[in-house]
Amino acid sequence: MSIPRIPPGFTLIELLVAMAIAAIMLTLAIPSFQDFILRSRLTSHANDLVLAMAYAKSEALKRGTSVQVCASSNATTCTGNWEDGWIVITAGNEVLQVRDGFQDTICADANTINFRNTGYPVAGIVFDLYNSQGVAEGRRITVSLQGRATTTQPATACP
C-alpha cells in the first residue's frame, strides 16, 4: 500500500503565520519610511535652492549683468514669500528659472539676493528650511558675500 502524496504548498496555518509576521514588520517599517521621505524631500528642496544660487551667480558672470534670485508667488515678478516658490531673473526682467512652492517651511532674512556682474552678491542671505520633523532635521543655507552657499543645521526655528 502506498502512502498518499501530499501536494506541495502552504497550509492555512503557515500562511496565517507568514501574514502576521509581514504585518508586524510593515507596522514597524512604515513610520521610519515616512521619516525618510520627509528628510529626502527637505534635502531636495535645499539642494534646489543652492543650485538656484549657483545658477544665478554663473549667469551674472556669463551675461555681464546683475541676476537675482527672489521669492515669487506668480513665477514672473519678485512678489510673495519663499514658500510660494522663487525665480531667477535678470536686470532686464528676463525670467531664467522658475521653482514652484513646496510644503516645507522656508524663511530667509531677505526676499531677494542680487548677484552683480562679477558674480558676487550685493549682500549675503540666510535661509532656514524645516518640515514637520522640526528644527532637528532642518537645513540652514548661508550664502556668503563671495556667493558661496553652505548648508548646515539651523539652531532655531523661523521667527
CA 33, 38, 44, 47 torsion-angle sign: negative
Give the residues across from 130 on adjacent strands. Answer: 105
What is the CATH superfamily name and number for domain 12-63+103-152?
Answer: minor pseudopilin epsh domain (3.55.40.10)
Q: In 3D, which of 96, 120, 145 has the Cα closest to residue 86?
A: 96
| DSSP E strand boundaries for 32-74 | 67-71
pTM of the complete model: 0.77
Q: pLDDT of the chain along its 159 residues, tens only?
A: 677 777 677 788 888 999 999 998 888 877 778 888 888 888 888 899 999 999 999 999 999 999 999 999 898 889 888 888 999 999 888 999 999 887 778 888 888 999 999 999 999 999 888 887 776 778 889 999 998 888 888 877 676
Helix (H) or strand (E) holding 34: helix 12-63
